[in-house]
Amino acid sequence: MDSDDEDTKEFQTYKDALLFALDVSGHMSLVALDALSACLTVLIERLVNSATSPFGLVLFGTKSATNMNYPSCYTLIDLKKPTVEDVKTLTDLIHSPAALSELIGDGPAPLVADVFSFLIQKFLTNSTDNMFRKLVWITCNDDPYNSLTASPNDAYAIANDFKGHNIQFSPIFLSRPDHSFDSSIFYDVVLVNNIAPDQDPELMLGDIEDLPSFVISFKDPKRATFRVPLEIADGVEIALRGYSLIRSHTNIRERNVYIKGENFQSVITSRQWFSQLTSKVLSPNDLVYAYKFGPTQLVEFTSSEIKSIRNFGQSHIKILGFKPLRDLPWEFNIKNPILLYPDEETISGSFRTYAALHKSMLNSQTCALCYTLLRSGRPVFSAMIAHDEFRSKAEKDKGPPLHPAGLSLITLPYADDLRDEPEVLRQPQPQQTAIEFAKQFIELLTMKDGLDLSRYRDVYAEFYNDFLLAIALEDPTPVMAPDGSIPKYKSITSIAGEQIQKFNIGP
């Protein structure tokens, strides 16, 4: 398996525990319904693409509680693997104003210290230490201890346990029309040691009407796919985290199910080896690796020898030199690029060095040729390029950019990966008149602002997943959305039909 494929597979199968803590007291009760609808979107996304990763939803500031030791805390969805029943529970609550009003309203003011303790207990009980734990804290109250006689020191002390338990605190702070959120009143002390390293500052603070879009932004995992040192020169290293900015939209994975029992059960598969001569079942210890040379000769290796052969050392990236950016052919970009970001926690000073390297490469229009070894895969050569932040017109200035500024790593092909262009493309020489005709309709059909790929969805994969989900939820059969990627032939004909016809007819 290719090393990049291994990284992607490990990234997709690595479990992360995501827990939403939604404040529903005071002004937050006015947007609770929108927030719950956004959480439902995240829940369905995880049920489809990450069904083994725990998901939970806790409301605080409620009229009732699920645990009398923690008043004003209500567990709507316990932190566990998402199920269809969880989707039904949340959907029923969203469509039942009476049930929602029984939870949300003028409940007792929540003690943040108690809420923090309740949430930490959820993580410790329902997730393992090797999971990526993320707590999304949503509130518009910047002074939760204003109307309370209790001291906030207890909340500060408990918040320090987040980092000790590997819980990343990712807050969404909301400003109301009559009040701008001021984190310095209470939350700055909480954030000092607990802000998530991948938390985008633009996502931390927004208007209250932007809450649904902020919540939905957490439907895709935002964790590093790897952490490696970058060797800039002998004895000069910084720490980096790598992020995959592109994730393919896939169908729900098929599973074999046993249907003849009282309940459907997933089939657990196993593999066994048999001796061809004796039909005896063999254990892994009975097997050795062997490679065949010639008609009969077998060369045997032990498992430790195979591991040593495939071991190329510790994962790292080493800069071999710099070249002008113009010398990097665009067709060498054969795989999805990886965004590199400094890891200040591992090596102090990484951020400053990273910023200086980025600025220097950007100003000189150079790229770095690197030797790259990620995880235990095979080493590859790659190009590290610097780029500015890019926003499409659709993004404007709201939220994080789709293409942030930084350094990206592009895997370069080996010589064996390159192919000569077909011979047939080298021989025919088009006539100048045909070239002029082609220029006319190409100029007319060229998009001035470029192609914004974020506007186009994979409607076929979405319909497939929605169809299966509708069956599970006993909902009506969904209707497939229009495929926006199909060319608009009528518009093309009206804009450049005459020029295309001239090109087809020829001189």
In the chain, where the domains are located: 15-219, 226-248+314-417, 257-310, 430-505
CA proximity to 373, closest of 485, 228, 484, 192: 228
CB of 281 closer than 8 Å to CB of 272:
yes
User: For residue 33, what are the contacts with CB-CB under 8 A and spacing of at least 6?
Assistant: 94, 100
Can you give the pLDDT at residue 252? 57
**Residue in the structure block whose two tokens are 């950016």:** 325
- Of 55, 50, 133, the residue nearest 87 (C-alpha): 55
Q: Which of 350, 405, 98, 402 is nearest to 228 (CA)?
A: 350
Look at residue 57 in the predicted model and tell me its pLDDT: 95
**Tens-place pLDDT, residues 63-75:** 888 888 888 899 9
CATH topology of domain 430-505: Ku70; Chain: A; domain 4 (1.10.1600)
Q: Six-digit token pair at 59?
A: 């409301």
What is the DSSP secondary-structure string of 103-165? HSSSPPPPPHHHHHHHHHHHHHHHS-TTSEEEEEEEES-S-TTTT-SS-THHHHHHHTHHHHT
pTM: 0.70
Length of the chain in terms of residues written: 507
CATH class, 226-248+314-417 region = mainly beta
The Cα 346–Cα 344 span in angstroms is 6
The whole-angstrom separation of Cα 284 and Cα 399 is: 52
Structure confidence at residue 12 (pLDDT): 45
What pLDDT, on the 0 to 100 scale, is given for residue 11? 42
Burial of 35 (0-12, 13-18, 19+ CB in 10 A): buried
pLDDT of 218: 81
Residue ranges in the chain whose pLDDT is less than 50: 1-13, 201-202
C-alpha–C-alpha distance, residues 357 and 368, integer Å: 10
Q: For domain 15-219, give the fold.
A: Rossmann fold (3.40.50)
Tokens 């007319």 belong to residue:
444
Q: Which pLDDT value is given to residue 336?
A: 85
| Residue 463: Cβ-neighbour burial (10 angstroms; 0-12, 13-18, 19+) | middle
